[in-house]
Amino acid sequence: MKKIKHILTLVLVVLTTFSCNEDFLNPEIKTDIDLETFGATPQEGQFLLTQVYINMRNDNFVGSVYWAWFPTDYSVPNPGTTGARSFIARMSQEATDSEAFVIWTAQYRVIASANLVLEKAEAGLAQQDISAADRAEWNRIAGEALFARALSYFNLVRLYRNVPIIEKFFKSFADIDAVSNGTQMKEQEIKVYDFIAADLGKAIDVLPVNVNRGRSNKYSAHALLGKVYLQMASIEKFRDQTGDGSSHYTKAIENLNVVINSGIYDLKTYFPDNFIRARQYTGANEFLFTLEFNETDKGNFNILGNNSGFVNNSGASSTVFLGTLNSANGGSFPTDHGWSAFDLNSPGDIVRRFWTFEDGEFRTFDANGDKRLANSLSDCPNGQGPNCEIFLKTQEPYQFTRPYWFETIADVNAFRNNPSTADVVTQPNGQTTFSLIWGGGTPGATPNIKLVKFRRNPVSQATYTDATYDADYPVMRYAEVLLMYAEAANELGNTTTKPVDGKYSAIEAANLVRDRARNFVYYSDLSVNKTIIDNSPFKVTYGDVYSRQAKVGNRPGPALTANAADTLTKYYNQISAFRGLREVPAAPVIRNFKEFPATSGFVPDYPNTFSQTELREELLDERWRELAGEANARYFDLARYGRLISAVQSAINSVNPLTNRDLTATPFGQNTLRVPDEKYTYFPIPKSEIDRNPNLNQNPGY
């Protein structure tokens, strides 16, 4: 039997005792180790465990490709010469495609390294006269490896379904060649879910309760197990329609309730703090599991690429007007439906909406007397001059999405941001559309609203850069625990009542998340004399911005008016919220929209009059609003509900009430899933794997 050479070059890191705020993935050490003999002590086992975490910090494991490649009804693939970035985005993937292969290999790389750790832990725990301290260490190491393996298989089974279960570290090519999956996809899918649940059960038994940055613990295992049971329940009830899912929903509640009742986790007061490096580990602990990053990683890893795109307002003359990079969206844009889920269905959801999606840059109006926008530092130096009007460019028509120009006029000749072109145009078919909310001012162009959830730094910092996101990447947050709990409770009939031993009703749990969404940065000193943003070359005040009168007609430009103070007063909280998102002040005052009569209806609570069906639909949208861009939860939600293809087709063929636009005239409608096929709700087993190992069976349709 031919054996695999056991001396491997691994990228490893020496671990020492650390607190929850210390890096445990520090400068890397490349070393050759003999895997036959190495790993006999807990210290060496920890050394190998770190390789598991390093393998998880891979873009194809749970990174930006899930946003870049995976289509939903609420997100659109980035158009290119073939209409989209990948075959997955067009839902036309085949077994020979590289995208399906790299995601597959990323998961099995983690599984292989976890299996090695588990074998070393098993041998360590079998040693005679093992000390209590070493036993505790080996148990923790094994628990973390079990969690990593379970998460990897969870990623795999949700995408490929019929995946082989590998639970040992291969020592020969014969071991590899003996791997097989199932002859029946559904049968194997159930086996994999049961295997995941067993792994997590074992992990729960041995993992500690303490919380350490970037590591799994007992509660993260409970949270993931709750998510697994919720997945199984919704597949049974909705996708496959083979039962009511009640047994699995009950198990989901049991595990999620352990996390909720632990007293260790809570929602952060301010939603963006989950994604700001300096605030991720201050205040309430919302993270159940993160992948750890630091500023040295940007050259070594590409977990999120240039997903930090936003207005660069650092003050550097060459970049101050930079705006959002073309590649800063990670490969996909939200569709009309994607942002109307905030703007129409959750009115006033400003903080989550604009921390997650945005496209803007400061521009000047009429700087050269030509009644046009300009975007150059020389056009309007420091935002000053008799013909300068500096405002944040926006590409959307709804009042909540116009940070510095709130008044809207429903008229085909309404002036909004380019006097040479009307904001609203009438198409040949009589349909009225907004003309300037799309790239290049073309009604049929792809929307250019970017995913900007993962900002590199607050834009007011002098160190702002478009480089790779350097904060820790949240894989599971407490907000998702509450939303999963709400979903499971609702399906068990506990929409307004508490399930057995549950802490909340479904409505109560969901409203905790919505209440946090109402929190915003409040400035008590905004006035017509205050500049629109500090630490900036722009010196324009709110008085300058709101001194223009909204008017019908595309020429001449809007006249000056004395209503600046009235406008500021009317939209004070919205303006304050927008300013807070852009400045990210060091010591913000956080208030809740509900405290103020003018904004008390923002992000309204779900009422107790909701039926089970109504709350079910709202929770799917609420998950999008809270989790958009985080491993593309929307894709997996639609898939487990059996709606992936129908939802995408419905979005393409329906006119959105926010924009009144027919998406069939856009790249989204023209290039995505024109011929629906059920096989695209799961991935093919990569052909290269089957070519090498005939024991692997291909999924139906491929």
Average pLDDT value for residue range 332-336 = 74
Question: Confidence band (pLDDT; 50, 70, 90) for 582?
Answer: confident
Cα maximum dimension of the chain = 89
- What's the whole-number average pLDDT of the chain? 77
What are residue 609's phi and psi, to 5 degrees? Answer: -85, -5
The topology (CATH level 3) of 1-206+676-702 is 1.25.40
pLDDT at 374 (0 to 100): 52
Query: CA angle at residue 183 from 180 to 188, to 5 degrees?
Result: 75
Residue with tokens 């250019």: 448
Task: Evaluate if residue 237 carries a pLDDT over 90.
Answer: yes
Domain ranges of the chain: 1-206+676-702, 208-302+468-514+605-640, 306-456+519-602
pLDDT at site 493: 97
Do the Cβ atoms of 157 and 147 come closer than 8 Å?
A: no
Q: Which CATH architecture has domain 208-302+468-514+605-640?
A: Alpha Horseshoe (1.25)
* pTM for the structure as a whole: 0.86
* 581: confidence class by pLDDT, cuts 50, 70, 90: confident
Which of 524, 641, 687, 692 has its CA nearest to residue 235?
641
Mean pLDDT of 14-39: 51
Contacts of 371 (CB under 8 A, 6+ apart): 419, 420, 555, 556, 557
Quick check: 407 pLDDT over 60? no
The pLDDT of residue 439 is above 50? no
State mean pLDDT over 334-362: 79
Is 414:433 a contact under the CB 8 Å cutoff?
Answer: no
Q: Could you check whether 1-206+676-702 and 208-302+468-514+605-640 share the same CATH topology?
A: yes
Q: How confident is the model at residue 370 (pLDDT cuts 50, 70, 90)?
A: low
Per cent of the chain over pLDDT 70 is: 66
Whether residue 360 has pLDDT greater than 80:
no
72 forms bridges with which residues in the sheet? 75
Q: Identify the pLDDT of residue 292.
A: 87
Residue 501 has pLDDT above 80, yes or no: yes
Residues 66-86 have pLDDT tens digits of 877 888 888 876 554 344 457
Q: Name the nearest CA neighbour of 362 among 401, 319, 308.
A: 319
Contact yes or no for 269/283 (Cβ under 8 A): yes
The DSSP code sequence of 352-381 is HHHHHEE---EEEESTTSSSSEE--TTTSG
User: What Å distances lie between residue 555 and 544, 548, 675, CA to CA?
Assistant: 20, 14, 46
Tell me what pLDDT residue 429 has: 60
pLDDT at position 397, please? 36
Taking 80 as the threshold, does the pLDDT of residue 505 lie above it?
yes
Please write the tens of the pLDDT for every residue from 446-487: 455 667 787 655 544 445 444 556 688 899 999 999 999 999
Overall residue count recorded for the chain in this entry: 702
Per-residue confidence (pLDDT) for residue 77, from 0 to 100: 65
| Structure-model confidence comparison of residues 664 and 284, the more confident one | 284
